[in-house]
Structure 1
């Protein structure tokens, strides 16, 4: 699907710049027309001549080096591109774009382009986790930039962790998948989708509360992908630090009771309802308006059951296609199938949160999707955005079957 596409590849100054050579080759072999912009720092790792030979196009390094007097190069490239890919993307370029800075060829072109922008970060594990970098990435995600998450492993600096540039072949597959989807009629066009995401917080006193490890990433990925697939999406979110996906209407809640009310209020008229939130099953039976002071001995907090949102939705559903999530640690498929039946669901997504690299707080997941027609499909470990896409494709197939 990249054949004939015009791609501007931005290469910035990290050791992973050598992988951009392979990436250029793979894209060119797949039929893309690739033009490379290099930052000055990138030139310390790889020669522009290398990219010129691989792309068979001139390489751009200087905003003021106008190769064609009839055109302004950075504007011409911005208009020419079908998509822009930054790989590797350093913390520096991410910070520049997020703050509207334009002091070289690449950052200037990025401010001018209207094409989709893909960013493949690569940096030290601690840099990737720095609050400033995280905030900058959130800003860009909120503007519609697409991130291709780095991998975990041994980094050039000697650290082991997240920050290694995704492999070129995997980056090409992400582009192919997105481009293929764009050529088709949006599979959820006209559908109204309701998604819940994140944890809840159950107050004990003004200082303390009960919660869980959910970060909301899976639910937000589902909401984002559903919007890209043409759906009208409402997202009910517990307290998380994620940006609202483009095209999604967001309702923020904190407690299980608030999430219950929001889901009930939004339920009618929806076509698809996906409860991905990790809602507290119990809350303190009593709460305190003042901070509980430390006392000698133990403190016992009596807990009471919260409302079972998914079960109540199962009772009320009419035309809605209702999908639940089951995060388990023991016999996940067994418990998931039971939940599918007892809560009157159309489908359930089951994941073993003890699977390495998957579950709460990670960028990847591995799940098994089971519906009430007997379909059982395992979606292997992949980025949560990719997993979300597969889940929504399976839901769309079921919706088509129901309409026949």
Structure 2
């Protein structure tokens, strides 16, 4: 999708400039034609020779290519040549110049001359990024129609930790790919997705739960947005973070809280994916104070939690497609087929704990997918959960309204 695309990479003075080398390499590998424009301060962090070698094009920085011969770098022509301009890293100084229309170098001249889309990937220290003037400049640039690739959180060059890191080259590449996709198959589709475990409180410090990490659900959330979907991710407690502006994260703890949140979003969703490992039972009595070890035995009375997938999927509309998950230890296909019928699902993803590297906690998964309308079973080998997510989403696309 990036083959033959003409992309200008602008590089500003930032320690993150080293990432531009990886980004240029990725774009060239995808078949894009890349031209690099550097600010003078960017040369203090990475050499033009490195970028020229990777891009296979001369790196530009000055208006004049050869003053004695009257050769100049035509900023207007460059602005017209590009299918997209990406400034990464974009420093606070350059963002301010862009927002104010201050034209004092080749990069700003090309920016002001461009008729193509412009993406900006800010990189700076925490306090600079959060300063009201920087945030005002970013908002103004958004209002101009520029696409802002939000800075990520992590360790910064100053030694502080927080937001301000330039997005990783691989993430930026994905955003470019998404931009150039001519017709995203899930564009304007709303997806309800449950993920992670639930916790059923016994007392303020103890609970009933399971070993679900939420990795599969979060991988699905990212993949769905790559195909254009807007995702409402209802997640039980997990250490995972979600930094994706097309995903609305709703954090819950108990099965009842997850049910209430899912019910709120279900009516307006087009696709519902029930990937959470919901606790089947919850204590009837939830103690408000920590239970002390006062007897040899402790007896807990448990009651069933809501069956979220069944409750919602059995009242789905004609426009809705529902997907369930089944984690089994025996009679896997028999139990999964029973669930797909009883819960009125269109598709079910089957995990077996008997498969090495599959199930809770792993970064890999091995699944079978059963389709309700044909009873067909699709079997996939062990893959990373990111790759499994792509397989699942592609099956949803292929069978939605099939």
TM-score normalized by structure 1? 0.64
CA gap of 1:366–1:34, structure 2 versus 1, over 3 A, is farther
Asked if the contact 2:129/2:163 (under 8 Å) is kept, the reply is no
Residue by residue over 1:47-80, the C-alpha shift from the partner in whole angstroms, topping out at 9 and shown as x without a partner, is 5413223321316799899xxx964355457676
**SS at the partner of 2:314?**
helix
The equivalent residue for 1:72 is 105
Task: Quote the residue 1:347 is aligned against.
Answer: 347
Query: Secondary structure at 2:191's aligned position in 1?
Result: strand
Are 2:19 and 2:168, in contact at CA under 8 Å, matched by a contact in 1? Answer: no
Q: Trace 1:11-90 onto structure 2 (pairs within 5 A).
A: 20=21, 24=25, 27=28, 30-35=31-36, 47-55=47-55, 56-58=57-59, 71-73=104-106, 75=108
Summarize the Cα distance change of 1:322–1:116 in structure 2 as closer, same or farther, 3 Å threshold.
Answer: same
In the alignment, structure 2 segments of 5+ residues that lack a partner are 62-88, 95-101, 132-136
Q: Is the 8 A contact 1:118 1:148 kept in 2?
A: no
Give the aligned partner of residue 378 of structure 2.
376
Inter-partner Cα distance in structure 2 for 1:375 and 1:9: 48
The aligned residue for residue 309 of structure 1 is: 308
Residue in 1 that maps onto 2:97: none
Deviation at 1:376, TM superposition (A): 1.5
Give the deviation of 1:231 after TM superposition: 4.2
Counterpart of 2:196? 198
Deviation at 1:248, TM superposition (A): 4.2
1:378, distance to aligned residue in structure 2 (A): 2.5
Q: Distance in 2 between matches of 1:204 and 1:360?
A: 23
Q: Deviations over 1:336-370 (max 9, x none)?
A: 34432343211012335676776545666554333
Q: In the aligned structure 2, how far is the partner of 1:355 from the partner of 1:13? A: 45
Shift of 1:227: 4.8
Structure 1 or 2, whichever has the larger Rg, is: 2
1:281–1:84 CA distance, 2 compared to 1 (3 A)? same
Between 328-337 and 233-242, the greater mean CA deviation after superposition: 328-337
- The answer to which of 224-233 and 388-397 deviates more is 224-233
- What residue is the counterpart of 1:257 in the other structure? 256
- CA 1:28–1:397 in structure 2 vs 1: closer, same or farther (change >3 Å)? closer
Q: How does 1:328-347 map to 2 (within 5 A)?
A: 328=328, 333=333, 335-347=335-347
**Partner in structure 1 of residue 327 of structure 2:** 327
**Which string of whole-angstrom CA distances, capped at 9 and with x for unpartnered residues, describes residues 228-257 of structure 1?**
544454333323453474244554432112
Shift of 1:175: 6.7
Q: Is residue 20–residue 169 contact of structure 2 (8 Å, CA) maintained in 1?
A: no
- Are the counterparts in 1 of residues 90 and 120 from structure 2 also a CA contact under 8 Å? no
Alpha-carbon distance, 1:279 to partner:
0.9
Partner SS, residue 204 of structure 1: strand
- Local SS of the residue matching 1:312: helix
Mapped partners of 2:11, 2:359: distance in 1: 32
Structure 1 residue runs without a partner (length 5+): 87-92, 103-107, 150-170
- The Cα shift of 1:322 comes to 1.3
* Backbone CA RMSD of aligned residues: 5.0
Q: Which structure 2 residues correspond to residues 1-400 of structure 1 after superposition, within 5 A?
A: 1-2=1-2, 3-8=4-9, 20=21, 24=25, 27=28, 30-35=31-36, 47-55=47-55, 56-58=57-59, 71-73=104-106, 75=108, 96=125, 100=129, 114-115=146-147, 117=149, 136=163, 148=170, 174=174, 178-179=178-179, 182-184=181-183, 186-227=184-225, 229-231=227-229, 233-240=231-238, 242-243=241-242, 245-295=244-294, 297-319=296-318, 320-328=320-328, 333=333, 335-352=335-352, 359-360=359-360, 365-372=365-372, 373=374, 374=376, 376=378, 378=380, 381-382=383-384, 384=386, 387-400=388-401
Structure 1 residues 339, 32: closer, same or farther in 2, change over 3 A? farther
2:50 match: secondary structure:
helix
**If the length of structure 2 is used for normalisation, what is the TM-score?**
0.64
**Bigger shift: residues 311-320 or 375-384:** 375-384
Q: Deviations over 1:283-323 (max 9, x none)?
A: 22322111112336454434333222222334333423110
Q: State the Cα distance separating 1:203 from its structure 2 match.
A: 0.7
Q: Is the Cα contact below 8 Å between 2:24 and 2:34 reproduced in 1?
A: no
SS in 1 for 2:253: coil
What is the Cα deviation at residue 6 of structure 1? 0.8
Distance 1:212 1:39 in 2: 55
Q: What is the number of equivalent residue pairs in this alignment?
A: 349
* Closer/same/farther in 2, CA of residues 196 and 244 from structure 1, 3 Å limit: farther
In structure 2, distance between residues paired with 1:36 and 1:214: 47
Q: Distance in 2 between matches of 1:265 and 1:18?
A: 42
Contact 2:19 2:169 in 1 (8 A): no
Q: Is the 8 A contact 2:38 2:59 kept in 1?
A: no
* Whole-Å separation in 2 of the counterparts to 1:327 and 1:388: 16
Classify 1:338/1:9 alpha carbon distance in 2 versus 1 (closer, same or farther; 3 Å): farther
